[in-house]
Structure 1
Amino acid sequence: MIHIAIISHGHEEMLIESQLCGLAANPAVTLWVKDNLPSVKLEAFCLQHQVRYTKEKPGMGFGENNNFLFNRIAAEFSLSAEDLFIVMNPDIQTNADMLRSLDQQMRSDSTTLATVNLYKDTNFQQTDANVRFFPSLLTPFRVLKIRGLTEAIQKHSLIQNCDVDWASGAFLAFRPSHFRDLNGFDTDFFMYFEDVDICYRSYCISGRKVRYYPGLKAVHQAAHRNRSLLSPHARWFLSSFIRFVLRRSVVYPFTRGKISQSL
């Protein structure tokens, strides 16, 4: 079974208009929505389309919200090695056929963490930079060249299925046992770099990076947050970057293969 976790922060109109990312009422998947800004309209829509909905514990960060949904799914279902747990943004558009293909290819590759090829438009012309290189302490010295604190991989050069350093939390697919081994997302990251961190810890534990499937496509209609130096998002972004690179340089080298707990 494929379980999809979606976190809404006032995204009710987007989710309803898109029929919950194009997957509502599809028997091939189970959809789970955690509503951090409770909406009566979204709750009614979910009830009508057999989508699991909760408005419990609002105000948590990205990682903690997804950990909460994973635990909720595990409590309701006997998750098996054959299942798939997908963390997905509310602005992703996809279909069940693509998700089934992803599941099959992950089985074929015996991989436990993967992503797909995200685009910004429905014609699949404008690529989304959802696969990237791990940042390090030297990254700030290259900021002008890479135009940010993380460097995108040029996806046009990735024609075949391959492994990449990390992939955006807009779409990440896990085998449940691997998500448990990682103890889920690190809740020290309230927002930003929790996806970088979980991909890096996955590499530390399994020795494998994120599997990227360029032939599997979905649309990501991303609306980028304001990161002016005075905005809360800029502060969260910078503090999360510092936390990750310090852990990568100081903590994780001594915990390789040992940073596993159970959710």
Structure 2
Amino acid sequence: MIHIAIVSHGHEELLIASNLGGLLQAGEGIRVWVKDNKPSARLKTYCHEHLVTYFDRMPGLGFGENNNFLYAQIKSESGFQQDDYFVVLNPDLSIAPETLLALIEQMKKDACVLATINLYRDQEYLTSDANIRRFPTLFSLLRMTIKRSITKNYDKKNMRSACHVDWASGAFLVFDAMHYAALQGFDQAYFMYFEDVDICYRSQQLLGKGVLYYPQFKAIHLAAHKNRNIVSQHAIWFFSSFMKFLSRRYFLYQRQKPLSASNWAK
């Protein structure tokens, strides 16, 4: 089973218009779970009418905690089997069901436990989304002042076959469900931003499983980038999370023992 986790932050109109990212009628083998972080009566009604599991408990959680919440609910209500997958999907992302199914089949062939795909910002697949990047370093703040970008993105034009990358955007991440358990989910110390960087780094550093990027599979991501205004709350979250990741990378993870699934996998 492929379990799709979607967290809405006031995205009810977008989710309804897109039929839950194109996955509403995905068929057998794919199940969508929705967590409404800003409860909407319209989205709740829509989900109930289409037999989509919907939660509006505990609104106002951060990105990582919301996805951990959904993982826990899936485990409680459905249970995870050995070959199940947990997909983190932004509410502003759309993907064809056949693309998702083909991706999962390829992941199985490659024994891949964490993957992403080629995201675009337009329906014509002309404008590439920089969803795969290098890990931030101590020099990233200097880079920010010069390049206005805290990390370096990969040149997708020259990436024609599957390959490992440092980290991929949380807009679309596919986990083997047991691997997500071994990682103990997202680090909830991050309220917003860098949770995706952190979980990809832990996967590589602590479990030896880097992110595999599949350029042949495509989806559309209508990114907002609310952190660009330096006086916004999003900017505060962004830089706070950035410093948190650096402190973990250089002072915690280098000395930490490999993770175990603990109670997550039980």
Coarse TM-score class (shorter-chain normalised):
over 0.9
Distance 1:82 1:189 in 2: 29
Deviation, structure 1 residue 146: 4.0
Contact 1:182 1:261 in 2 (8 A): no
Identify the residue that residue 195 of structure 1 maps to in structure 2: 196
Deviation, structure 1 residue 261: 3.9
Contact 1:4 1:85 in 2 (8 A): yes
Residue 5 of structure 1 aligns to which amino acid in structure 2?
Answer: A
Identify the residue that residue 12 of structure 1 maps to in structure 2: 12
Identify the residue that residue 138 of structure 2 maps to in structure 1: 137
Q: Which range moved further: 37-46 or 221-230?
A: 221-230
CA offsets per residue over residues 50-71 of structure 1, 9 Å max, x none? 2110100001000000000000
Pick closer, same or farther for the CA change 1:146–1:162 going to 2, 3 Å.
farther
Distance 1:154 1:256 in 2: 33
Identify the residue that residue 108 of structure 1 maps to in structure 2: 109
Distance 1:173 1:12 in 2: 23
Identify the residue that residue 2 of structure 2 maps to in structure 1: 2
Give the 3-state SS of the residue equivalent to 1:16 in structure 2. Answer: helix
Distance 2:261 2:138 in 1: 25
Pairing 1:72–2:94 present? no
Residue 149 of structure 1 aligns to which amino acid in structure 2?
Answer: I
Distance 2:35 2:96 in 1: 20
Distance 2:189 2:134 in 1: 21
Pick closer, same or farther for the CA change 1:5–1:253 going to 2, 3 Å.
same
Gaps of 5+ in 2: none
Residue 68 of structure 1 aligns to which amino acid in structure 2?
Answer: F
Q: Which range moved further: 46-55 or 187-196?
A: 46-55
Give the 3-state SS of the residue equivalent to 1:70 in structure 2. Answer: helix
Pick closer, same or farther for the CA change 1:144–1:110 going to 2, 3 Å.
same
Residue 11 of structure 1 aligns to which amino acid in structure 2?
Answer: H
Q: TM-score, normalised by structure 1?
A: 0.96
- What is the root-mean-square deviation of aligned Cα atoms in Å? 1.3
Contact 1:181 1:262 in 2 (8 A): no
CA offsets per residue over residues 168-212 of structure 1, 9 Å max, x none? 000000011110111100000000000000000001232131000
Pick closer, same or farther for the CA change 1:218–1:241 going to 2, 3 Å.
same
Distance 1:175 1:262 in 2: 17
Q: Percent identity?
A: 48
Distance 1:162 1:208 in 2: 12
Identify the residue that residue 161 of structure 1 maps to in structure 2: 162
Deviation, structure 1 residue 112: 0.6
Deviation, structure 1 residue 256: 4.6
Contact 1:25 1:49 in 2 (8 A): no
Q: Which range moved further: 184-193 or 74-83?
A: 74-83
Contact 1:137 1:245 in 2 (8 A): yes
CA offsets per residue over residues 25-80 of structure 1, 9 Å max, x none? 32231111101111111111111112110100001000000000000001112311
Distance 2:17 2:75 in 1: 29
Q: Which range moved further: 190-199 or 21-30?
A: 21-30
Deviation, structure 1 residue 226: 4.5
Identify the residue that residue 221 of structure 1 maps to in structure 2: 222
Distance 2:199 2:70 in 1: 16
Gaps of 5+ in 1: none
Distance 1:187 1:156 in 2: 34
Distance 1:48 1:81 in 2: 31
Query: Any residues of structure 2 matched to 1:38-77 within 5 Å, and which?
Result: 38-77=39-78
Deviation, structure 1 residue 147: 2.7
Give the 3-state SS of the residue equivalent to 1:102 in structure 2. Answer: helix
Contact 2:206 2:253 in 1 (8 A): no
CA offsets per residue over residues 132-190 of structure 1, 9 Å max, x none? 00001121122245431122111111111000000000000001111011110000000
Distance 2:260 2:135 in 1: 18
Distance 1:208 1:147 in 2: 30
